[in-house]
Structure 1
Amino acid sequence: MPSDPTSLPPGFDAAAALLEWYAAMGVDVTLADAPLDRFEESAKAKAAAEAARRQAPPPAPRGPMPAINLPPHAAAARPAPAPSLTPSQTAQVPTEATVMQARAAAQSAQTLDELKALIEAFDGCNLKLTAKNTVFADGNPASKLMLVGEAPGRDEDIEGRPFVGRSGQLLDRMLNAIGYSRSHNAYIANVIYWRPPGNRDPSDVEVAICRPFILRQIELINPELIVFLGAQPAKALLGGDAVKQGINKLRGRWCELEIGGKRFKALPTFHPAYLLRTPIKKREAWRDFLTAKVFLENGGMLPPT
Protein backbone atom coordinates (compact mmCIF):
# COMPACT_ATOMS: atom_id res chain seq x y z
CA MET A 1 0.00 0.00 0.00
CA PRO A 2 1.53 3.40 -0.91
CA SER A 3 2.61 5.44 2.15
CA ASP A 4 1.94 8.83 0.56
CA PRO A 5 -1.86 9.65 0.64
CA THR A 6 -1.48 12.10 -2.23
CA SER A 7 -0.40 9.29 -4.51
CA LEU A 8 -3.54 7.19 -3.91
CA PRO A 9 -5.80 6.69 -6.94
CA PRO A 10 -9.17 8.46 -7.01
CA GLY A 11 -11.92 6.66 -5.02
CA PHE A 12 -9.48 4.53 -3.06
CA ASP A 13 -10.85 3.62 0.42
CA ALA A 14 -7.95 3.01 2.80
CA ALA A 15 -10.13 1.55 5.58
CA ALA A 16 -11.73 -0.97 3.23
CA ALA A 17 -8.34 -1.97 1.90
CA LEU A 18 -7.08 -2.50 5.46
CA LEU A 19 -10.05 -4.71 6.29
CA GLU A 20 -9.45 -6.80 3.18
CA TRP A 21 -5.83 -7.22 4.19
CA TYR A 22 -6.85 -8.34 7.72
CA ALA A 23 -9.29 -10.88 6.25
CA ALA A 24 -6.59 -12.26 3.94
CA MET A 25 -4.30 -12.69 6.96
CA GLY A 26 -7.00 -14.62 8.86
CA VAL A 27 -8.12 -11.88 11.24
CA ASP A 28 -11.92 -12.10 11.31
CA VAL A 29 -12.87 -11.12 14.91
CA THR A 30 -12.20 -7.89 16.80
CA LEU A 31 -11.73 -8.63 20.52
CA ALA A 32 -10.77 -5.33 22.08
CA ASP A 33 -9.34 -1.94 21.28
CA ALA A 34 -6.28 -2.54 23.48
CA PRO A 35 -4.08 -5.68 23.52
CA LEU A 36 -4.48 -8.11 26.43
CA ASP A 37 -1.83 -10.34 28.05
CA ARG A 38 -3.58 -13.71 28.30
CA PHE A 39 -0.61 -15.32 30.06
CA GLU A 40 -0.83 -12.76 32.84
CA GLU A 41 -4.58 -13.38 33.19
CA SER A 42 -3.99 -17.15 33.49
CA ALA A 43 -1.34 -16.64 36.17
CA LYS A 44 -3.67 -14.36 38.19
CA ALA A 45 -6.50 -16.95 37.97
CA LYS A 46 -4.24 -19.73 39.25
CA ALA A 47 -3.01 -17.56 42.13
CA ALA A 48 -6.59 -16.71 43.13
CA ALA A 49 -7.63 -20.40 43.06
CA GLU A 50 -4.66 -21.37 45.23
CA ALA A 51 -5.46 -18.63 47.75
CA ALA A 52 -9.08 -19.77 47.95
CA ARG A 53 -8.00 -23.38 48.51
CA ARG A 54 -5.75 -22.37 51.41
CA GLN A 55 -8.47 -20.32 53.05
CA ALA A 56 -11.16 -23.03 52.72
CA PRO A 57 -11.90 -25.04 55.91
CA PRO A 58 -10.68 -28.67 55.97
CA PRO A 59 -13.27 -31.28 54.97
CA ALA A 60 -15.17 -32.99 57.75
CA PRO A 61 -14.05 -36.56 58.55
CA ARG A 62 -16.04 -39.20 56.72
CA GLY A 63 -18.15 -41.39 58.94
CA PRO A 64 -18.86 -45.09 58.49
CA MET A 65 -20.86 -46.14 55.48
CA PRO A 66 -24.50 -46.70 56.33
CA ALA A 67 -25.71 -50.27 56.24
CA ILE A 68 -27.78 -51.17 53.20
CA ASN A 69 -30.38 -53.86 53.54
CA LEU A 70 -30.56 -55.71 50.24
CA PRO A 71 -33.49 -57.90 49.26
CA PRO A 72 -32.75 -61.65 49.45
CA HIS A 73 -32.43 -62.09 45.67
CA ALA A 74 -29.97 -59.20 45.42
CA ALA A 75 -27.90 -60.43 48.34
CA ALA A 76 -27.66 -63.87 46.75
CA ALA A 77 -26.54 -62.39 43.43
CA ARG A 78 -23.76 -60.36 45.05
CA PRO A 79 -20.40 -62.13 44.49
CA ALA A 80 -18.71 -63.46 47.59
CA PRO A 81 -15.42 -61.82 48.62
CA ALA A 82 -12.26 -63.55 47.46
CA PRO A 83 -10.93 -65.87 50.16
CA SER A 84 -7.75 -64.72 51.83
CA LEU A 85 -4.80 -67.07 51.93
CA THR A 86 -3.91 -68.57 55.28
CA PRO A 87 -0.22 -68.75 56.25
CA SER A 88 -0.12 -72.40 55.12
CA GLN A 89 -1.45 -71.36 51.68
CA THR A 90 1.05 -68.62 50.94
CA ALA A 91 3.60 -69.26 48.22
CA GLN A 92 6.79 -70.90 49.45
CA VAL A 93 10.17 -71.33 47.83
CA PRO A 94 10.43 -75.08 47.10
CA THR A 95 13.47 -76.84 48.51
CA GLU A 96 14.81 -80.38 48.62
CA ALA A 97 12.88 -80.78 51.87
CA THR A 98 9.67 -80.15 49.91
CA VAL A 99 10.52 -82.99 47.54
CA MET A 100 11.30 -85.26 50.50
CA GLN A 101 7.97 -84.30 52.07
CA ALA A 102 6.14 -85.24 48.86
CA ARG A 103 8.05 -88.53 48.70
CA ALA A 104 7.15 -89.45 52.27
CA ALA A 105 3.49 -88.54 51.74
CA ALA A 106 3.28 -90.57 48.53
CA GLN A 107 4.84 -93.67 50.09
CA SER A 108 2.42 -93.53 53.00
CA ALA A 109 -0.61 -93.94 50.70
CA GLN A 110 -1.87 -97.52 50.60
CA THR A 111 -4.83 -96.91 48.27
CA LEU A 112 -5.73 -94.54 45.46
CA ASP A 113 -8.26 -92.78 47.69
CA GLU A 114 -5.58 -92.16 50.31
CA LEU A 115 -3.20 -90.89 47.64
CA LYS A 116 -5.83 -88.53 46.24
CA ALA A 117 -6.58 -87.14 49.70
CA LEU A 118 -2.87 -86.62 50.39
CA ILE A 119 -2.36 -84.78 47.10
CA GLU A 120 -5.38 -82.54 47.71
CA ALA A 121 -4.04 -81.68 51.19
CA PHE A 122 -0.44 -81.17 50.00
CA ASP A 123 0.63 -77.50 49.98
CA GLY A 124 4.22 -77.92 48.82
CA CYS A 125 3.54 -77.11 45.15
CA ASN A 126 2.75 -73.45 44.45
CA LEU A 127 0.72 -74.38 41.37
CA LYS A 128 -2.07 -75.30 43.77
CA LEU A 129 -2.46 -71.63 44.77
CA THR A 130 -3.55 -70.56 41.27
CA ALA A 131 -5.50 -73.66 40.20
CA LYS A 132 -9.23 -74.14 40.65
CA ASN A 133 -9.11 -77.90 41.14
CA THR A 134 -6.75 -80.75 41.83
CA VAL A 135 -6.85 -82.96 38.72
CA PHE A 136 -6.13 -86.45 39.99
CA ALA A 137 -7.26 -88.98 37.38
CA ASP A 138 -10.12 -90.38 35.33
CA GLY A 139 -11.06 -93.85 34.16
CA ASN A 140 -11.11 -97.38 35.51
CA PRO A 141 -8.40 -98.01 38.18
CA ALA A 142 -8.48 -101.73 37.35
CA SER A 143 -7.38 -101.10 33.76
CA LYS A 144 -4.32 -102.70 32.21
CA LEU A 145 -3.74 -99.55 30.13
CA MET A 146 -2.67 -96.30 31.80
CA LEU A 147 -2.10 -93.08 29.86
CA VAL A 148 -0.02 -90.30 31.39
CA GLY A 149 0.04 -86.69 30.17
CA GLU A 150 1.95 -83.68 31.38
CA ALA A 151 -0.38 -81.21 33.15
CA PRO A 152 -4.02 -80.07 33.18
CA GLY A 153 -5.19 -77.29 30.88
CA ARG A 154 -8.00 -74.77 31.27
CA ASP A 155 -10.87 -77.19 30.67
CA GLU A 156 -9.32 -79.81 32.93
CA ASP A 157 -8.80 -77.27 35.70
CA ILE A 158 -12.48 -76.27 35.52
CA GLU A 159 -13.87 -79.83 35.53
CA GLY A 160 -11.22 -81.43 37.75
CA ARG A 161 -10.64 -84.31 35.28
CA PRO A 162 -7.74 -84.92 32.86
CA PHE A 163 -8.16 -84.65 29.09
CA VAL A 164 -11.66 -83.21 28.77
CA GLY A 165 -10.98 -80.43 26.23
CA ARG A 166 -10.45 -80.77 22.49
CA SER A 167 -7.35 -82.90 22.97
CA GLY A 168 -9.26 -85.12 25.37
CA GLN A 169 -12.04 -85.61 22.84
CA LEU A 170 -9.46 -86.69 20.26
CA LEU A 171 -7.90 -89.05 22.79
CA ASP A 172 -11.30 -90.63 23.46
CA ARG A 173 -11.79 -91.23 19.73
CA MET A 174 -8.34 -92.78 19.44
CA LEU A 175 -9.05 -95.11 22.37
CA ASN A 176 -12.45 -96.06 20.99
CA ALA A 177 -10.83 -96.93 17.66
CA ILE A 178 -8.82 -99.72 19.35
CA GLY A 179 -11.68 -100.86 21.59
CA TYR A 180 -10.75 -98.95 24.75
CA SER A 181 -12.42 -96.18 26.77
CA ARG A 182 -11.80 -94.38 30.02
CA SER A 183 -15.14 -95.58 31.37
CA HIS A 184 -14.29 -99.24 30.75
CA ASN A 185 -10.67 -100.28 30.37
CA ALA A 186 -8.38 -97.22 30.37
CA TYR A 187 -7.03 -95.00 33.16
CA ILE A 188 -5.74 -91.46 32.56
CA ALA A 189 -3.57 -89.21 34.75
CA ASN A 190 -0.97 -86.43 34.53
CA VAL A 191 2.50 -85.91 35.96
CA ILE A 192 1.35 -82.53 37.34
CA TYR A 193 -1.89 -82.32 39.32
CA TRP A 194 -2.54 -78.56 39.04
CA ARG A 195 -2.79 -76.33 35.99
CA PRO A 196 0.28 -74.11 35.47
CA PRO A 197 -0.79 -70.46 35.00
CA GLY A 198 -1.35 -69.62 31.35
CA ASN A 199 -0.75 -73.28 30.42
CA ARG A 200 2.99 -72.72 30.65
CA ASP A 201 5.38 -75.66 30.88
CA PRO A 202 5.89 -76.92 34.45
CA SER A 203 9.27 -76.08 35.91
CA ASP A 204 11.81 -78.75 36.82
CA VAL A 205 11.12 -78.08 40.51
CA GLU A 206 7.37 -78.52 40.06
CA VAL A 207 7.96 -81.80 38.22
CA ALA A 208 10.31 -83.00 40.97
CA ILE A 209 7.70 -82.24 43.65
CA CYS A 210 4.86 -84.05 41.83
CA ARG A 211 6.97 -86.97 40.60
CA PRO A 212 6.70 -89.11 43.79
CA PHE A 213 2.90 -88.87 43.64
CA ILE A 214 2.52 -90.01 40.01
CA LEU A 215 5.04 -92.81 40.57
CA ARG A 216 3.04 -94.04 43.54
CA GLN A 217 -0.16 -93.70 41.50
CA ILE A 218 1.32 -95.90 38.77
CA GLU A 219 2.47 -98.39 41.41
CA LEU A 220 -1.05 -98.61 42.89
CA ILE A 221 -2.71 -98.97 39.47
CA ASN A 222 -0.15 -101.60 38.44
CA PRO A 223 -0.87 -101.37 34.70
CA GLU A 224 0.50 -103.74 32.10
CA LEU A 225 1.29 -100.80 29.80
CA ILE A 226 1.88 -97.09 30.26
CA VAL A 227 1.42 -94.81 27.26
CA PHE A 228 3.19 -91.47 27.61
CA LEU A 229 1.26 -88.75 25.81
CA GLY A 230 4.02 -86.44 24.62
CA ALA A 231 7.69 -86.09 25.40
CA GLN A 232 7.32 -84.25 28.72
CA PRO A 233 5.84 -87.10 30.80
CA ALA A 234 8.38 -89.50 29.31
CA LYS A 235 11.24 -87.16 30.23
CA ALA A 236 9.83 -86.51 33.70
CA LEU A 237 9.45 -90.17 34.61
CA LEU A 238 12.10 -91.98 32.57
CA GLY A 239 14.95 -89.50 32.94
CA GLY A 240 18.31 -90.55 31.50
CA ASP A 241 18.66 -90.28 27.71
CA ALA A 242 14.94 -89.52 27.31
CA VAL A 243 15.53 -86.02 28.69
CA LYS A 244 17.70 -85.13 25.69
CA GLN A 245 15.37 -86.50 23.01
CA GLY A 246 12.30 -85.06 21.34
CA ILE A 247 9.03 -86.86 20.87
CA ASN A 248 9.81 -87.70 17.23
CA LYS A 249 12.69 -89.89 18.43
CA LEU A 250 10.92 -91.20 21.53
CA ARG A 251 7.58 -92.19 20.04
CA GLY A 252 7.04 -95.82 19.14
CA ARG A 253 10.12 -96.96 21.11
CA TRP A 254 9.59 -99.38 23.98
CA CYS A 255 10.83 -98.16 27.35
CA GLU A 256 10.84 -99.46 30.90
CA LEU A 257 9.94 -97.52 34.03
CA GLU A 258 11.17 -99.02 37.30
CA ILE A 259 9.20 -98.27 40.48
CA GLY A 260 9.87 -100.04 43.77
CA GLY A 261 11.82 -102.82 42.11
CA LYS A 262 9.10 -103.52 39.52
CA ARG A 263 9.48 -102.72 35.83
CA PHE A 264 6.59 -101.32 33.79
CA LYS A 265 6.50 -101.35 30.02
CA ALA A 266 6.00 -97.88 28.53
CA LEU A 267 5.37 -96.58 25.04
CA PRO A 268 5.67 -92.85 24.24
CA THR A 269 3.48 -91.33 21.53
CA PHE A 270 2.34 -87.90 20.42
CA HIS A 271 0.18 -85.73 22.65
CA PRO A 272 -3.34 -85.27 21.23
CA ALA A 273 -2.90 -81.48 21.34
CA TYR A 274 0.13 -81.87 19.05
CA LEU A 275 -1.92 -84.03 16.70
CA LEU A 276 -4.56 -81.29 16.49
CA ARG A 277 -1.84 -78.88 15.37
CA THR A 278 -0.08 -81.43 13.15
CA PRO A 279 -2.68 -83.77 11.64
CA ILE A 280 -0.11 -85.46 9.40
CA LYS A 281 1.32 -87.14 12.53
CA LYS A 282 -1.96 -88.92 13.30
CA ARG A 283 -0.87 -91.85 11.15
CA GLU A 284 2.15 -92.49 13.37
CA ALA A 285 0.08 -92.09 16.55
CA TRP A 286 -2.45 -94.58 15.16
CA ARG A 287 0.38 -97.05 14.62
CA ASP A 288 1.44 -96.60 18.26
CA PHE A 289 -2.08 -97.23 19.53
CA LEU A 290 -2.36 -100.37 17.42
CA THR A 291 0.95 -101.55 18.87
CA ALA A 292 -0.40 -100.95 22.37
CA LYS A 293 -3.55 -102.93 21.54
CA VAL A 294 -1.56 -105.91 20.24
CA PHE A 295 0.69 -105.82 23.32
CA LEU A 296 -2.25 -105.89 25.72
CA GLU A 297 -4.14 -108.58 23.78
CA ASN A 298 -1.03 -110.79 23.75
CA GLY A 299 -0.87 -110.83 27.55
CA GLY A 300 1.86 -108.25 27.87
CA MET A 301 4.09 -109.71 25.17
CA LEU A 302 5.97 -107.39 22.87
CA PRO A 303 4.70 -107.52 19.28
CA PRO A 304 7.12 -108.82 16.65
CA THR A 305 9.23 -106.14 15.02
Structure 2
Amino acid sequence: MTSSEEQLSLFQNPTTDSEASAAAQPELIPTDAKIPIPPGTYSAMTEIAQHCNVCHRCGLGETRTHAVVGRGNLQAPIMIIGEAPGQNEDETGLPFVGKAGQLLDKILASVKLDTDNHIYICNVIKCRPPNNRVPTTDEISACKPYLLEQIRLVDPKIILFTGATALKGLTGEKRGITKIRGNWIEWEGRLCMPILHPAYLLRNPSRERGSPKWLMWQDIQAVRAKLDEMQHSRDQGSEGASADLRFRD
Protein backbone atom coordinates (compact mmCIF):
# COMPACT_ATOMS: atom_id res chain seq x y z
CA MET A 1 0.00 0.00 0.00
CA THR A 2 1.41 3.42 -0.93
CA SER A 3 1.67 6.21 1.60
CA SER A 4 -1.15 8.12 -0.12
CA GLU A 5 -3.44 5.09 -0.01
CA GLU A 6 -2.54 4.56 3.62
CA GLN A 7 -3.33 8.18 4.37
CA LEU A 8 -6.78 7.99 2.83
CA SER A 9 -7.95 4.83 4.57
CA LEU A 10 -10.52 5.84 7.16
CA PHE A 11 -10.94 2.52 8.86
CA GLN A 12 -7.45 1.32 9.63
CA ASN A 13 -6.62 0.30 13.16
CA PRO A 14 -5.80 3.30 15.40
CA THR A 15 -2.20 4.09 16.20
CA THR A 16 -0.50 2.68 19.25
CA ASP A 17 -0.29 4.83 22.38
CA SER A 18 3.32 5.75 21.63
CA GLU A 19 2.51 6.75 18.07
CA ALA A 20 -0.48 8.81 19.19
CA SER A 21 1.61 10.50 21.87
CA ALA A 22 4.25 11.47 19.33
CA ALA A 23 1.68 12.62 16.81
CA ALA A 24 0.05 14.87 19.45
CA GLN A 25 3.18 17.04 19.39
CA PRO A 26 2.77 19.74 16.71
CA GLU A 27 6.47 19.83 15.90
CA LEU A 28 6.23 16.20 14.80
CA ILE A 29 3.51 16.73 12.18
CA PRO A 30 4.90 15.37 8.90
CA THR A 31 5.73 18.42 6.79
CA ASP A 32 5.82 16.28 3.67
CA ALA A 33 2.20 15.83 2.59
CA LYS A 34 3.08 12.45 1.09
CA ILE A 35 3.73 11.13 4.60
CA PRO A 36 0.41 10.11 6.16
CA ILE A 37 -1.00 11.14 9.49
CA PRO A 38 -2.24 7.73 10.67
CA PRO A 39 -5.94 7.15 11.36
CA GLY A 40 -6.64 7.19 15.09
CA THR A 41 -4.00 9.86 15.77
CA TYR A 42 -6.44 12.25 17.45
CA SER A 43 -8.69 11.65 20.44
CA ALA A 44 -10.43 15.05 20.33
CA MET A 45 -11.27 17.81 17.88
CA THR A 46 -9.24 20.27 19.94
CA GLU A 47 -6.09 18.31 19.09
CA ILE A 48 -6.87 18.58 15.38
CA ALA A 49 -7.41 22.32 15.78
CA GLN A 50 -4.06 22.73 17.54
CA HIS A 51 -2.26 20.86 14.78
CA CYS A 52 -4.03 22.67 11.95
CA ASN A 53 -3.03 26.05 13.38
CA VAL A 54 0.65 25.13 13.20
CA CYS A 55 0.44 22.90 10.12
CA HIS A 56 2.63 23.49 7.06
CA ARG A 57 1.85 20.37 5.03
CA CYS A 58 1.09 22.75 2.14
CA GLY A 59 1.87 26.37 1.32
CA LEU A 60 -1.43 27.73 2.67
CA GLY A 61 0.04 27.67 6.16
CA GLU A 62 2.19 30.64 5.16
CA THR A 63 -0.76 32.95 4.44
CA ARG A 64 -3.53 31.97 6.88
CA THR A 65 -4.69 34.06 9.82
CA HIS A 66 -6.45 31.14 11.50
CA ALA A 67 -6.97 27.54 10.53
CA VAL A 68 -10.69 26.88 10.18
CA VAL A 69 -11.49 23.46 11.62
CA GLY A 70 -15.21 23.26 12.27
CA ARG A 71 -18.25 24.29 14.29
CA GLY A 72 -21.33 22.54 15.58
CA ASN A 73 -22.26 19.46 17.56
CA LEU A 74 -19.29 17.10 17.93
CA GLN A 75 -21.74 14.16 17.98
CA ALA A 76 -23.96 15.45 15.18
CA PRO A 77 -25.86 12.97 13.00
CA ILE A 78 -25.20 15.20 9.96
CA MET A 79 -21.85 16.55 8.80
CA ILE A 80 -21.71 19.29 6.17
CA ILE A 81 -18.44 19.54 4.24
CA GLY A 82 -17.65 22.65 2.25
CA GLU A 83 -14.76 23.68 0.03
CA ALA A 84 -12.46 26.11 1.83
CA PRO A 85 -12.49 29.06 4.22
CA GLY A 86 -13.10 32.56 2.88
CA GLN A 87 -12.01 35.88 4.35
CA ASN A 88 -14.60 35.94 7.15
CA GLU A 89 -13.72 32.38 8.09
CA ASP A 90 -9.98 33.06 8.03
CA GLU A 91 -10.49 36.02 10.35
CA THR A 92 -12.74 34.23 12.84
CA GLY A 93 -11.44 30.67 12.63
CA LEU A 94 -14.98 29.37 12.07
CA PRO A 95 -16.44 27.86 8.86
CA PHE A 96 -19.46 29.25 7.02
CA VAL A 97 -19.87 32.50 8.95
CA GLY A 98 -20.06 34.89 5.98
CA LYS A 99 -23.13 35.53 3.82
CA ALA A 100 -23.08 31.99 2.41
CA GLY A 101 -22.88 30.56 5.92
CA GLN A 102 -25.71 32.74 7.15
CA LEU A 103 -27.85 31.52 4.28
CA LEU A 104 -26.89 27.92 5.07
CA ASP A 105 -28.01 28.39 8.68
CA LYS A 106 -31.37 29.75 7.46
CA ILE A 107 -31.80 26.80 5.11
CA LEU A 108 -31.11 24.37 7.92
CA ALA A 109 -33.45 26.22 10.28
CA SER A 110 -36.24 25.96 7.70
CA VAL A 111 -36.38 22.21 8.39
CA LYS A 112 -35.54 22.54 12.09
CA LEU A 113 -31.89 21.56 11.86
CA ASP A 114 -29.17 23.45 13.72
CA THR A 115 -25.53 23.27 14.77
CA ASP A 116 -26.41 22.89 18.45
CA ASN A 117 -28.09 19.54 17.93
CA HIS A 118 -27.94 18.08 14.43
CA ILE A 119 -25.09 19.58 12.41
CA TYR A 120 -21.30 19.70 12.36
CA ILE A 121 -19.78 21.92 9.64
CA CYS A 122 -16.25 21.83 8.26
CA ASN A 123 -14.33 22.17 5.00
CA VAL A 124 -12.15 19.95 2.82
CA ILE A 125 -9.20 22.22 3.56
CA LYS A 126 -8.62 24.21 6.71
CA CYS A 127 -6.75 27.28 5.43
CA ARG A 128 -7.95 30.00 3.08
CA PRO A 129 -6.52 29.91 -0.45
CA PRO A 130 -5.30 33.35 -1.61
CA ASN A 131 -8.06 35.40 -3.26
CA ASN A 132 -10.52 32.60 -2.46
CA ARG A 133 -9.31 30.53 -5.40
CA VAL A 134 -10.28 26.87 -5.70
CA PRO A 135 -7.91 24.68 -3.65
CA THR A 136 -5.45 22.61 -5.61
CA THR A 137 -5.34 18.82 -5.64
CA ASP A 138 -2.11 18.87 -3.62
CA GLU A 139 -3.64 21.17 -1.00
CA ILE A 140 -6.67 18.92 -0.65
CA SER A 141 -4.48 15.83 -0.34
CA ALA A 142 -2.29 17.48 2.29
CA CYS A 143 -5.31 18.38 4.41
CA LYS A 144 -7.37 15.23 3.88
CA PRO A 145 -6.02 13.33 6.92
CA TYR A 146 -7.48 16.01 9.19
CA LEU A 147 -10.88 15.72 7.51
CA LEU A 148 -10.86 11.94 7.76
CA GLU A 149 -10.09 12.19 11.47
CA GLN A 150 -12.96 14.66 11.88
CA ILE A 151 -15.34 12.20 10.23
CA ARG A 152 -14.06 9.42 12.46
CA LEU A 153 -14.52 11.48 15.63
CA VAL A 154 -17.96 12.89 14.82
CA ASP A 155 -19.14 9.64 13.21
CA PRO A 156 -22.07 11.21 11.32
CA LYS A 157 -24.89 9.15 9.88
CA ILE A 158 -25.27 11.54 6.93
CA ILE A 159 -22.67 13.62 5.08
CA LEU A 160 -23.66 16.56 2.87
CA PHE A 161 -21.15 17.84 0.31
CA THR A 162 -21.69 21.49 -0.59
CA GLY A 163 -20.39 21.94 -4.10
CA ALA A 164 -18.27 19.96 -6.53
CA THR A 165 -14.89 20.59 -4.88
CA ALA A 166 -15.98 19.08 -1.57
CA LEU A 167 -17.54 16.09 -3.32
CA LYS A 168 -14.58 15.36 -5.58
CA GLY A 169 -12.01 16.14 -2.90
CA LEU A 170 -13.24 13.39 -0.61
CA THR A 171 -14.87 10.81 -2.88
CA GLY A 172 -13.15 11.35 -6.23
CA GLU A 173 -16.55 11.82 -7.89
CA LYS A 174 -16.08 13.65 -11.20
CA ARG A 175 -19.69 14.31 -12.18
CA GLY A 176 -20.81 17.92 -11.99
CA ILE A 177 -22.72 19.02 -8.92
CA THR A 178 -25.81 20.00 -10.93
CA LYS A 179 -26.04 16.46 -12.30
CA ILE A 180 -25.61 14.62 -9.01
CA ARG A 181 -27.08 16.99 -6.41
CA GLY A 182 -30.02 15.67 -4.49
CA ASN A 183 -29.04 12.03 -5.07
CA TRP A 184 -28.12 9.74 -2.21
CA ILE A 185 -24.74 8.05 -2.66
CA GLU A 186 -22.74 5.76 -0.39
CA TRP A 187 -19.17 6.47 0.60
CA GLU A 188 -17.22 4.37 3.11
CA GLY A 189 -20.47 2.93 4.44
CA ARG A 190 -22.01 6.35 5.02
CA LEU A 191 -25.04 7.90 3.40
CA CYS A 192 -24.08 11.06 1.52
CA MET A 193 -25.80 13.70 -0.57
CA PRO A 194 -24.19 16.38 -2.74
CA ILE A 195 -26.02 19.72 -2.49
CA LEU A 196 -25.53 23.11 -4.10
CA HIS A 197 -23.18 25.50 -2.36
CA PRO A 198 -24.95 28.38 -0.58
CA ALA A 199 -22.68 30.86 -2.40
CA TYR A 200 -24.17 29.59 -5.67
CA LEU A 201 -27.63 30.30 -4.31
CA LEU A 202 -26.61 33.87 -3.47
CA ARG A 203 -25.69 34.37 -7.13
CA ASN A 204 -28.99 32.87 -8.24
CA PRO A 205 -31.69 34.39 -6.01
CA SER A 206 -34.75 33.22 -7.98
CA ARG A 207 -37.12 30.92 -6.08
CA GLU A 208 -39.07 29.75 -9.11
CA ARG A 209 -39.61 26.05 -9.67
CA GLY A 210 -36.40 24.49 -10.97
CA SER A 211 -34.19 27.34 -9.73
CA PRO A 212 -31.14 26.59 -7.52
CA LYS A 213 -32.97 27.77 -4.39
CA TRP A 214 -35.99 25.65 -5.23
CA LEU A 215 -33.73 22.62 -5.77
CA MET A 216 -32.00 23.23 -2.45
CA TRP A 217 -35.38 23.32 -0.72
CA GLN A 218 -36.21 19.91 -2.17
CA ASP A 219 -32.84 18.51 -1.14
CA ILE A 220 -32.87 19.78 2.43
CA GLN A 221 -36.38 18.42 2.95
CA ALA A 222 -35.16 15.03 1.73
CA VAL A 223 -32.28 15.20 4.21
CA ARG A 224 -34.63 16.02 7.08
CA ALA A 225 -36.95 13.17 6.07
CA LYS A 226 -34.04 10.72 5.90
CA LEU A 227 -32.79 11.76 9.35
CA ASP A 228 -36.28 11.30 10.78
CA GLU A 229 -36.52 7.89 9.12
CA MET A 230 -33.18 6.81 10.58
CA GLN A 231 -34.16 8.09 14.02
CA HIS A 232 -37.48 6.23 13.84
CA SER A 233 -35.75 3.00 12.82
CA ARG A 234 -33.29 3.34 15.68
CA ASP A 235 -36.09 3.98 18.19
CA GLN A 236 -38.05 1.01 16.88
CA GLY A 237 -34.98 -1.18 17.25
CA SER A 238 -34.49 -0.02 20.84
CA GLU A 239 -38.12 -0.75 21.67
CA GLY A 240 -37.82 -4.21 20.14
CA ALA A 241 -34.71 -4.98 22.18
CA SER A 242 -36.41 -3.81 25.38
CA ALA A 243 -39.48 -5.93 24.64
CA ASP A 244 -37.25 -8.97 24.00
CA LEU A 245 -35.55 -8.50 27.35
CA ARG A 246 -38.89 -8.19 29.15
CA PHE A 247 -40.11 -11.37 27.46
CA ARG A 248 -37.05 -13.30 28.56
CA ASP A 249 -37.44 -12.02 32.13
TM-score (norm 2): 0.76
**2:190 is equivalent to residue 255 of structure 1:** no
Mapping of residues 150-189 of structure 1, within 5 Å: 150-189=83-122
Q: Deviations over 1:144-175 (max 9, x none)?
A: 01100000001111111000010011001000
Counterpart of 2:95 in 1: which secondary structure?
coil
Paired AA for residue 35 in structure 2: M
Question: Counterpart of 2:34?
Answer: 99
1:113, 1:266 → 2: CA distance? 25
Question: Counterpart of 1:285?
Answer: 216
2:135, 2:230 → 1: CA distance? 35
2:56, 2:64 → 1: CA distance? 12
**2:200 is equivalent to residue 200 of structure 1:** no
Q: Deviations over 1:96-146 (max 9, x none)?
A: x42324x33x54112222222222232212101111101010111111011
1:216, 1:264 → 2: CA distance? 15
CA 1:119–1:149 in structure 2 vs 1: closer, same or farther (change >3 Å)? Answer: same
Verify the 8 A CA contact 2:163 2:197 in the aligned structure 1.
yes
Paired AA for residue 201 in structure 2: L
Paired AA for residue 146 in structure 1: M
2:81, 2:131 → 1: CA distance? 21
Gaps of 5+ in 2: 1-26, 206-210, 234-249
Paired AA for residue 191 in structure 2: K
Question: Counterpart of 2:202?
Answer: 276
1:213, 1:255 → 2: CA distance? 22
Counterpart of 1:198 in 2: which secondary structure?
helix
Q: CA deviation at 1:274?
A: 0.4
Q: CA deviation at 1:301?
A: 8.7
Higher relative contact order (CA 8 A, sep 6+): 2
Verify the 8 A CA contact 1:295 1:301 in the aligned structure 2.
no
Gaps of 5+ in 1: 1-88
2:64, 2:215 → 1: CA distance? 34
Q: Root-mean-square deviation (CA), in Å?
A: 2.2
Greater C-alpha Rg: 1
Verify the 8 A CA contact 2:57 2:143 in the aligned structure 1.
no
2:169, 2:91 → 1: CA distance? 25
Q: CA deviation at 1:264?
A: 1.1
> What is the aligned length?
201
Paired AA for residue 290 in structure 1: Q
Paired AA for residue 269 in structure 1: I
Question: Counterpart of 1:148?
Answer: 81
Verify the 8 A CA contact 1:231 1:250 in the aligned structure 2.
no
Mapping of residues 1-305 of structure 1, within 5 Å: 97-101=32-36, 103-104=37-38, 107-239=40-172, 242-243=173-174, 245-258=175-188, 263-279=189-205, 280-299=211-230
Paired AA for residue 137 in structure 1: G
Question: Counterpart of 2:236?
Answer: none
Counterpart of 1:298 in 2: which secondary structure?
helix
TM-score (norm 1): 0.62
Verify the 8 A CA contact 1:247 1:269 in the aligned structure 2.
yes
Segment drifting more, 106-115 vs 145-154 = 106-115
CA 1:225–1:300 in structure 2 vs 1: closer, same or farther (change >3 Å)? Answer: farther
